[in-house]
Amino acid sequence: MSNKETYKLQIGPTHPAFKEPVRFEFEVDGEHVLHADIDMGYTHRGIEHVSKERNFIQIIYLLERICGICSTSHPMAYCLAVENAAEIEVPARAKYIRTIVGELERLHSHLLWAGVAAHEVGFDTLFYTTWDIREKVMDCLEVISGNRVNYAMLTIGGVRRDIIGEVAEAVNKTVEYYSDLYSQLEDIMLNDMSLRLRTENVGILTYDEALKLCAVGPTARASGLAKDVRADYAVNAYPDIPWLKAITPNDVGKKPVGDIYDRIVVRVLEIKQSVDIIRFCMENMPGGEIVAEPKAVKVINQLKKVKAHGIGRYEGPRGEVSHYDILDNNECPVGVKVKAPTYSNIISWVPMFRGAEIADIPIIMSSIDPCIACSDRASFVEGEGKKTVSFGELRKLSMEKMNKIRRGL
Amino acid sequence: MLSTVSRIMQQFFGRRSTNVFPVKYAPESVIDALAGGDIHPPISMPEGYRGKLSYDFDKCIGCGMCLKVCPAKALEDYPIMDTEKNRPSKRIVFYRGKCTYCEECVKVCPVGAIKLNPDFMMANYEKYGDDQIEGIEKRREFEVKEGQ
Amino acid sequence: MNELTVFLIMVISTLIGGIYLGLLGRGIDRKIAAKFQSRIGPPIRQGFWDLKKLMLKQTIVPENSITWVFKGAPLVALVTSAMLLVYIMVPYLLYLTGYESPMFAHMGDFILVIYLLMIPAIALVAGGFSAGSPLSTIGSQREMVVLMATELPLAVTVIAFAVKMSVLAPSMPSFSIFTAASNPVWNGMGPAGILGVILLASAFLFIIPAETGKIPFDQAEAETEIAEGLLAEYSGKYLAFFQLAEALKSLGVVALVVVLFFPQGVSTIMGGQMIAGGINITVPCEIMFFLLKVSVVYSVSISFIRVSMARLKISQVSKFFIYSVSAVSITGFILIMIDPRIMAM
Amino acid sequence: MLHPEEIVNKLKEYIGDGLLEWEVRTRFDGVTNIREQKHLYIKLNRGAFHRSVAFLYKISPLHISCPMASIESEEAIELIYPFMIYSGHGDQTEQPLIVSYDIPKSDLRTVSVTDIIPGIIIMERETQEMLGIEVENLPDERRIFTPDNMEEGFLPLRDKVSGISEE
């Protein structure tokens, strides 16, 4: 054929490979992808706007629900931002507990990602295995916080629960479990033939592209860009850890290519790093208070008197979570700006899809560990038909409905 | 490759990780069928598990602190007349369907009238059904008394 | 007994038993895979329930499909799969029961088996193309590629068998399954030849999942890539037909491997008739032993391979079959050919 | 590695009056090994923004950390770009560099910096659709988070325009 006929392949918003709604439009020639286009915004919930109507304590739990997996990262960044603006000093012990919870979350997120990625390439056994292994850290988090997914551990100026006694023992046991299991896990994830066949030299993001497109997290590190908020920017207990550094494929003596295999390498090594950090924190945890001001209402009143800007950054499991909060002598912030790691990485998808095959689409898509819900968070909802219903109207409607039901009681 | 196979074999001969849904919560028809067989007890919840919310109507002093901190606005101010002192007394109604289990109201309550139980089975067909609203029965009793 | 009566009894019992065992096999396969994956898995009867449910469900035919192809393809697939099973099983059953008749000597031609293996796949492809959805079109293209890639090793194996049979039993038709069943391929062979047969068998270890569309060769359906691909538009009873066809075909392919590579029955191994309490129980024993062999091959080549690998890309599949598997089977073929005992004859 | 004051001085030399205000704030973190983290807040003239970003990018590649925050007042919208400088080196070198400038409401326009930092495109598209600020030279002007059939002039993050009542 002299003139090549291409056709458009729509994938999404709902597709078995996608855990969340996002729409891709691919220009496809046979099995080869020529061009990719991304359309988002299917899960808008208006969190940034809603935040402006809540007080500082309420926002923590609202932000926790931006994403189920990063349910410590978002409140962490938010608390850091507010503490930065109001210049609240966090007690030393709280810093360590924050670090431990954050690292447990990273452990759980990376294992979850490994399972999802394995499922995308049709390796269901690995999916079940990693999720089975992940149960242990979920149980540990349940013991610490009382819930498997939404930990509600953080508050402005510290943490809400201490890690002592039985809880500390549970954490130590989890650390032991993972250090025992690590070598087997590493062997499976890095040396399995069929997995390597699917991931090597697929979805390449070069160093320059990662730098220019502001990629974050394991995606950037797999391209050799040593960008890790934990190592770059002082938060929590991370400055205390002398050996902490951003992990790149160089650490296993491999030249970074920026393909999916490198992203697996980075994540697998980070599992080990997380375990080591938790062990370090458990051994070196100082005593003392866990929160600067335990009374929530007092905190709200204290923050009412602040007029400042605050930036909070934290390395979530998927990359840099960054919040920018504007406080203006009010019970509620005037502005809350949220950036989830996926938001920075969306644009990195475009070069990754270059030259890919259709079979590579799901694994490339999941290789940045996307969290669409994190990125979509603006402010209105699509109503029935073509009418657009604003958040306020929608709420009014639902309030009416609720009142109607209540009257019927 | 070898480690994958060894892990798979380990799983084949090892104990399976999944569990049958605890029979305690299954519909009655299923319980009857399984009564003679293998009944799995529910997995125990750790201490401090944040589950179903319960509210002690009599302990509540109506300070309204919980209203201030609840992120989901799952609590509603429901003032009722205190007949003994003849003045409106604030009592709270909780919509369990809206609750996010953050435990903030428990921490903030000065008299310990709110608790989170380890009960996690809360699925329901009705969003605002009677059993989804905590504190409504007392409120009803009160209304009936008032009516008389 | 009349030859025709025997033949009809065998065909009908094969069909009924095949449908039952095929669906049961699906259930067992899922249970074993679940065990490998450390979970409970669906009940073994799930295959029957699925089929029943699908038969009761509404059947939707897409608006822009070519209706008669779309509706006809599942039926063609089902009928040819059933034929394949009958075509493999009847000669073997005849061999097991020891019923000899000149009429059946030519039964079960390898070449026809290859064609019959192809037709359900082609029906799937036709159904996928006719559905008029881009995802099923991609699925159909992939199925074609897998189909073509597996042809060469399959053909090589069959020719190797024919050559071997012509040497082992010059008086019998070389391409017949009956011949292959009555003269196990391992007989009359030196070490080189045995190695050759082992190579052919290991090539078949990968041909079975490719023929039945299981991971790592389920590109045509690839749930996470193209959303069940060529089955994407099928629903209700047509999907049920495809499922049944697939169950029958899996059983047929596995039975083919058993017949070709492990045809030895109980009586051959024990060296005589099996008699218990004065009743000759050879035939039931033979059938039980055959089912045992089938389930072993089934669980190794379908269940185990499917849980221990990731799905390959379509380009890798074609390379894998055209280079690696073909090379293995051709080496096997050459080894059989240069085996001194064959050379001598 | 330049000190925040040095960055400001260099920038002042380059753009002169374009630099309106600047401030360095320090925060500390860590327990046994206390690190100081300097945050540099710069307020620019709208016209000087593009040139300044190009100049800063030459010092070290900028990383855009968070989408543009905004403060709305009676006659202007202040856009805040939280950049990070010296990122990707490891060893606690990263410095926040928060650049802001006012856009008068009578003339809601700004210039895209995608030619310098390609990764900022999604954030600029979001700013355009959410705040109604027209971004010039944007390579891709389609909506990203809001649907294409959304009514004109509905700006979700601008309360006073969208008419979303504060309860």
The answer to the question of residue B40 being in a domain is no
Give pLDDT tens digits for A36-77: 888 777 777 777 777 887 888 888 888 888 877 888 888 888
| Segment C42-54, tens digit of pLDDT | 888 888 888 888 8
Q: Residues 174-203, chain A: which have Cβ within 8 Å of C?
A: 192, 194-195, 197-198
Rounded to the nearest 10 degrees, what angle do helices C3-36 and C282-298 cross at? Answer: 40
Specify if B139 maps to a domain: yes
Residue D72: is it exposed, middle or buried by C-beta count within 10 angstroms (0-12/13-18/19+)? middle
The amino acid at residue C214 is K
Q: Which residues pair with A35 in a beta bridge?
A: A27
Rg (CA), chain C: 20
Residues of chain C found within 8 Å of residue B20, distances taken between Cβ atoms: 40
pLDDT in tens, C96-147: 776 666 666 666 677 888 888 888 888 888 888 888 787 888 888 888 888 8
d(CA A366, CA A203): 11
- As a whole number of angstroms, the distance between CA A129 and CA A113 comes to 12
CB D82, CB D98: distance < 8 Å: yes
- Residue B82 shares a structural domain with residue B124: yes
Low-confidence ranges of chain B (pLDDT < 70): 20-43, 79-90, 121, 126-131, 135-148
Residues of A whose CB is below 8 A from C215? 122, 124
pLDDT at B93: 79
Chains touching B, CB cut-off 8 Å, 3+ pairs: A, C
Residue A98 token pair: 């924050």
Tell me the one-letter amino acid at A8. K
pLDDT of residue A381: 37
Q: Are B120 and B49 contacting, i.e. CB atoms less than 8 angstroms apart?
A: yes
Please tell me the predicted confidence (pLDDT) of residue B16. Answer: 77
pLDDT above 70 coverage of chain D, percent? 86
pLDDT(A344) > 80: yes
Interface of C with B in 134-153 (CB under 8 A): none
Whether residue A70 contacts residue A349, with contact meaning beta carbons closer than 8 Å, is answered with: no
- Chain A hits for D96, CB-CB cut-off 8 Å, are 233, 311, 313
Query: Average per-residue pLDDT in chain A?
Result: 82
Pairing outcome for strands D134-136 and D109-111: parallel
Residue C195, token pair as written in the block: 């190695």
Residue C251: closest CA among C104, C128, C122, C117: C117
CA pair distance C279, C284, nearest whole angstrom: 11
- Whether A216 shows a pLDDT value over 80: the answer reads yes
Q: Which of C29, C31, C32, C37 is best to mutate for the B interface (most B CBs within 10 A)?
A: C37
Q: Say how far apart CA C24 and CA C42 lie, in whole Å.
A: 12
The dihedrals phi and psi of D71, each to the nearest 5 degrees, come to -120, 125
Measure the CA–CA gap between A157 and A92, rounded to whole angstroms. Answer: 11
Measured between beta carbons, the chain A residues lying within 8 angstroms of C307 are: 124-125
- For residue A232, CA distances in Å to A235, A378, C123, C262, D84 come to 9, 29, 59, 64, 10
* Number of domains present in the structure of chain B: 2
Do B104 and B136 belong together in one domain? yes
Residues of D in contact with A339 (CB under 8 A): 65-67
* pLDDT value, residue A211: 84
Query: Who among C141, C228, C314 is closest to A359 (CB)?
Result: C314
Per-residue pLDDT 10s for chain D (167 aa) are 778 888 888 888 888 888 888 888 888 888 888 888 888 888 888 888 888 888 888 888 888 888 888 888 878 888 888 888 887 776 777 888 888 888 888 888 888 888 888 888 888 888 888 788 888 888 877 777 777 766 666 676 776 544 444 43
User: How many angstroms separate the CA atoms of D7 and D2, rounded?
Assistant: 6
C-alpha to C-alpha distance for B132 and B126, rounded to whole angstroms: 8
Q: At residue C189, does pLDDT exceed 80?
A: no
C141 neighbourhood in chain A, CB within 8 Å: 30-31
* Spatial CA neighbour of A350 closest among A239, A204, A231, A154: A204
For chain A, percent of residues with pLDDT exceeding 70:
90
Asked if A touches C (at least 3 Cβ pairs < 8 angstroms), the answer reads yes
A296: chain B residues, CB-CB within 8 Å: 69, 104, 107-108
- C282 pLDDT more than 50: yes
Beta-carbon contacts below 8 Å between A and B: 86
- Give the range of the structural domain holding residue C255, as residue numbers without chain letter: 3-344
Which of C144, C308, C313, C323 is best to mutate for the A interface (most A CBs within 10 A)?
C313
pLDDT bracket for residue A383 (50, 70, 90): very low
How is residue C246 written in tokens?
């697939």
Q: What is the largest CA-CA distance in chain C?
A: 66
Domain shared by B93 and B57, yes or no? yes
Which pLDDT band, with edges at 50, 70 and 90, does A405 fall under?
low
Buried b (16+ CB within 10 A) or exposed e, D5-22: eebbeebeebbeebbeeb
- Residues C331 and C321: their CA atoms lie apart, in Å, by 14
Residue A379 has pLDDT above 50, yes or no: no
Minimum Cα–Cα distance from D40: chain A residue: A311
Neighbours of chain A (3+ CB pairs under 8 A): B, C, D
Task: Give chains near D: 3+ CB pairs under 8 A.
Answer: A
Question: Does A136 lie at the interface with C, CB-CB under 8 angstroms?
Answer: no
Interface residue of B8, B38, B40 to substitute, partner C, most C CBs within 10 Å: B8
d(CA D90, CA C339): 65
- For the segment A291-303, the average pLDDT, to the nearest whole number, is 84
Task: Please answer yes or no on whether B103 and A160 come within 8 Å at the CB atom.
Answer: yes
Look at residue A378 in the predicted model and tell me its pLDDT: 43
The ipTM (two decimal places) reads 0.82
**Long-range pairs for B1-5: beta carbons < 8 A, 24 or more residues apart:** B1/A191, B1/A192, B1/A193, B3/A184, B3/A187, B3/A188, B3/A191, B3/A192, B4/A125, B4/A126, B4/A188, B4/A192, B4/C308, B5/C308
- The DSSP call for residue C323 is I
pLDDT in the model for residue A380: 39
Taking the CA of residue A112 and the nearest CA in chain D, the distance in Å comes to: 25
Peptide bond into C216 cis (omega under 30): yes
User: Residue C336: which residues within 8 A CB-CB, separation 6 or more?
Assistant: C160, C163, C164, C189, C192, C193, C196, C197, C200, C342
Number of domains forming the structure of chain C: 1
Q: Is residue B45 part of a domain?
A: no
Residue B147 identity (one-letter amino acid): G
Provide the shortest C-alpha distance from residue A169 to chain B (in Å): 13
Question: Tokens 């994540």 label which residue?
Answer: A267
Q: Does D89 contact chain A (CB < 8 Å)?
A: yes
- Sheet strands (E) in chain D: 19-29, 35-44, 63-64, 69-72, 76-85, 95-104, 109-111, 134-136
Strand partners, B88: B81
- Tell me which residue of B112, C224, C154 sits closest to A122, measured CA to CA: C224
Contact A49 D157 (CB under 8 A): yes
Q: Which of A135, A161, A297 sits opposite B108 (nearest CB)?
A: A297
Nearest CA in chain C to B16: C38
CA–CA separation, A233 vs D94, rounded Å? 6
- Per DSSP (E only), the strands in A19-130 are 23-29, 32-39
Among B47, B66, B71, residue whose Cα is nearest residue B135:
B66
Determine, for residues D92 and A234 on separate chains, whether the beta-carbon distance falls below 8 Å. yes
Question: Is D66 near chain A, with CB under 8 Å?
Answer: yes
DSSP state of C345: -
Give domain status of residue B28, yes or no: yes
Domain boundaries defined on chain D = 4-162
Probe site for chain A from D21, D31, D127 (most A CB atoms < 10 A) = D31
C38 → chain B, closest CA residue: B16
More confident residue, D26 or C1: D26
What sign has the CA pseudo-torsion A182, A188, A191, A196?
negative
Question: What's the pLDDT at D134?
Answer: 83
Q: Region A121-132: what's the mean pLDDT?
A: 87
Rounded CA separation C247/D61 (Å) = 59
Predicted confidence at residue C167, as pLDDT, reads: 76
Task: Tell me whether residue B44 is in a domain.
Answer: no
Q: For C305, name the nearest residue in chain B, comparing CA atoms only.
A: B5
Q: Which fold has domain D4-162?
A: Beta Polymerase; domain 2 (3.30.460)
- Tell me the per-residue pLDDT of C231-269, one tens digit each, with 9 for 90 and over: 888 888 888 888 888 888 888 888 888 888 887 776 666
State how far the Cα of D87 lies from the Cα of D42, in Å rounded to an integer.
Answer: 18
CA angle B50, A315, A228 (to 5 degrees): 160
* Pick among A194, A357, A361 to test the C interface (most C CBs inside 10 A): A194
Q: What residues make up the domain containing B133?
A: 53-147
> Would you say residue B30 lies in a domain?
yes
Given a cut of 60, is residue A389 above it in pLDDT?
no
Q: D35-44 and D95-104 as β-strands: parallel, antiparallel, unpaired? A: parallel
Counting Cβ atoms within 10 Å, is residue B58 exposed (0-12), middle (13-18) or buried (19+)?
Answer: exposed
- Output the DSSP codes for C110-121: HHHHHHHHHHHH
Pick from B4, B100, B108: CB nearest A296: B108
Best CA proximity match to A77, nearest among A90, A64, A96, A87 = A64
Cis peptide before A13 (omega within 30 of 0): yes
pLDDT higher than threshold 70 for residue A393: no
CA of A30 vs chain C CAs: smallest distance (Å): 8
CB distance C266 to C289 below 8 Å? yes
Strand positions, DSSP E, D87-167: 95-104, 109-111, 134-136
Residue D29 and residue A392: Cβ atoms within 8 Å? no
**Where residue C343 falls among pLDDT bands split at 50, 70, 90?**
low
Instruction: Considering only the beta carbons, identify the residue of D71, D84, D119 that sits closest to A326.
Output: D71
Task: List the one residue out of C331, C82, C73, B107 whose CA is nearest residue A296.
Answer: B107
Which pLDDT value is given to residue A1?
A: 40
In chain A, the domains with their CATH numbers are: 47-345 (1.10.645.10)
Taking contacts as CB-CB distances below 8 angstroms, the residues of chain B near C306 are none
Nearest CA in chain C to B4: C308
User: Domain check: are B140 and B103 in the same one?
Assistant: yes
A238 has pLDDT over 60? yes
| Touching B: C residues 35-54, CB under 8 Å | 35-40
**Nearest to A101, CA basis, from A73, A64, A81:** A73
Interface contact A297-B68, CB threshold 8 A:
yes
Number of CB pairs < 8 Å for A and C?
Answer: 77
Nearest to D29 among A239, A322, A348 (CB): A239
Q: Which residue of A has its CA nearest to C40?
A: A128
Question: Which tops the pLDDT comparison, D30 or A281?
Answer: A281
User: A352 or C227: whose pLDDT is higher?
Assistant: A352
pLDDT, tens digit, for every residue of C52-101?
888 888 888 888 888 888 888 889 988 998 888 888 887 777 777 766 66
- Cα distance between residue A71 and residue A65, in whole Å: 7
Both B115 and B57 in a single domain? yes
CA-CA-CA-CA torsion sign (C299, C302, C303, C309): positive
8-state DSSP, D135: E
pLDDT score recorded for residue A222: 87
Q: Measured between alpha carbons, how far is residue A333 from residues A59, A142, A336, A346, D27 in Å?
A: 9, 31, 7, 28, 21
Chain D residues whose beta carbon lies within 8 Å of the beta carbon of residue A330: none
Q: Give pLDDT tens digits for B57-77.
A: 777 777 778 888 888 778 877
